[in-house]
């Protein structure tokens, strides 16, 4: 038996052409609204970020290497923020720091925490609205040692003797016991854009920080240019160093006189 199913003939519905036409202005309005939103006009003000201040007290042994004398006692008369540490001037034999953790997890001496955060906040505008990242703050002696040894190995691989490699490495990475990072007053800042470094060079002094190793001062600082390395010296010294276009070593010589 054959059952004949009767299917109703599918009626071809004619699409109504008026629909897409009606939707077009709606889509346009939505696009415009989205563009307006993206352009930033309607973004709500970001709430002020609060950085919890975590204090970590540590006592550090500067342990100068090579039997060289530690920083002379006369520097005790100098305010803490003018402590000179470079490839010829080791860290004080012992010193105490209370560390504060900054966004990203690096730590600095708590006394530079506020000016540093103020500076980074102010720099946001020239860093695609992002808080510049501190990629290196306080370093332990062990950390400095491993960075230094890595650099020496790099030069040795290029065929230099250990002695040559060590001398060359010093221009880029301070030997352990000779790094400002071990003091907790120095930071390496990573910018989302190079504009950040121009901004820092022109504005960091307002917050007490200096562009520590300009290329024009390598003979005096003993360190090759590092656009990312900023050091706290207090507002007064920073302003003078900026205005006179001198480096910390030159500034300290001047105030001695």
What are the CA-CA distances from residue 166 to residues 173, 176, 177, 248 (Å)? 10, 12, 14, 24
Q: Are the C-beta atoms of 198 and 178 separated by less than 8 Å?
A: no
Torsion of CA 116, 177, 246, 107, to 10 degrees: -10
Residue closer to Zn ion (CB basis): 217 or 229: 229
Is position 229 an interface residue for Zn ion (rule: CB under 5 A)?
Answer: yes
3-state SS track over 64-121: CCCCCCCCCHHHHHCCHHHCCCECCECCCCEEEEEEEECCCCCEEEHHHHHHHHHHHH
d(CA 226, CA 240): 20
Out of 226, 240, 249, 250, the active site residue is: 226
Using CB under 5 A, which of the segments 44-52, 64-72, 124-132, 227-235 binds Zn ion?
Answer: 227-235
Supply the minimum distance, in Å, between the C-beta of residue 31 and Zn ion: 47
Q: How far is the CB of 137 from Zn ion (least distance, A)?
A: 9
Report the site for Zn ion in 155-174 (rule: CB under 5 A). Answer: none
Q: 24 or 224, CB closer to Zn ion?
A: 224
Name the segment binding Zn ion (CB under 5 A); options: 60-68, 73-81, 192-200, 229-237: 229-237
Which of 164/225 has CB closer to Zn ion? 225
Q: Should residue 188 be labelled a site residue for Zn ion when binding is judged by CB under 5 A?
A: yes
Given the complex with Zn ion, which of 181 and 207 has the nearer CB atom?
A: 181
- Tell me: does residue 225 bind Zn ion (CB under 5 A): no
Return the range that interacts with Zn ion (CB under 5 A); candidates 8-16, 18-26, 32-40, 222-230. 222-230
Give the nearest distance from C-beta 77 to Zn ion in angstroms.
27
Q: Binding residues for Zn ion, how many (CB under 5 A)?
A: 2
Beta carbons within 10 angstroms of residue 108's beta carbon: 24
Q: Find the shortest distance in angstroms from Cβ 188 to Zn ion.
A: 4
Examine the residue annotation and report whether 110 is marked as an active-site residue of this protein. no
Q: Which is nearer to Zn ion, 135 or 255 (CB)?
A: 135
Which residue number is nearest to Zn ion in terms of Cβ?
A: 229
Pairwise CA distance, residues 64 & 44, whole Å = 52
According to DSSP, residue 132 is labeled P
The phi and psi torsions of 83 (rounded to 5 degrees) equal -55, 125
CB of 117 to Zn ion, least distance (A): 18
Which residue, among 226, 204, 186, 230, has the nearest Cα to 91 in the 3D structure?
186
Catalytically annotated residues: 226
Contact footprint for Zn ion (CB under 5 A): 188, 229
């Amino acid at each position: 038996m054959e059952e004949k199913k009767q299917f109703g003939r599918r009626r071809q519905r004619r699409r109504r052409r008026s629909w897409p036409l009606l939707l077009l202005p709606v889509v346009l309005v939505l696009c415009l609204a989205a563009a307006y939103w993206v352009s930033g006009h309607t973004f709500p003000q970001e709430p002020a970020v609060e950085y919890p201040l975590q204090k970590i007290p540590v006592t550090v042994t500067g342990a100068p290497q090579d039997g060289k004398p530690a920083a002379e006692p006369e520097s005790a008369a100098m305010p803490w923020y003018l402590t000179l540490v470079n490839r010829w001037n080791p860290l004080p034999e012992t010193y105490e720091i209370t560390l504060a953790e900054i966004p990203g997890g690096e730590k600095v001496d708590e006394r530079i925490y506020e000016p540093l955060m103020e500076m980074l906040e102010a720099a946001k505008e020239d860093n695609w609205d992002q808080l510049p990242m501190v990629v290196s703050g306080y370093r332990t002696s062990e950390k400095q040692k491993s960075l230094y040894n890595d650099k020496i190995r790099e030069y040795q691989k290029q065929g230099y003797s250990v002695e040559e490699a060590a001398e060359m490495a010093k221009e880029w990475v301070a030997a352990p016991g000779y790094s400002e990072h071990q003091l907790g007053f120095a930071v390496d800042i990573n910018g989302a854009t190079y504009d950040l470094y121009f901004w820092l060079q022109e504005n960091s002094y307002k917050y007490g920080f200096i562009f520590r190793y300009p290329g024009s001062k390598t003979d005096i600082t003993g360190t090759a240019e590092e656009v990312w390395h900023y050091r706290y010296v207090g507002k007064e010294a920073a302003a003078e160093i900026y205005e006179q276009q001198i480096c910390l070593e030159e500034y300290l010589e001047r105030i001695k006189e």
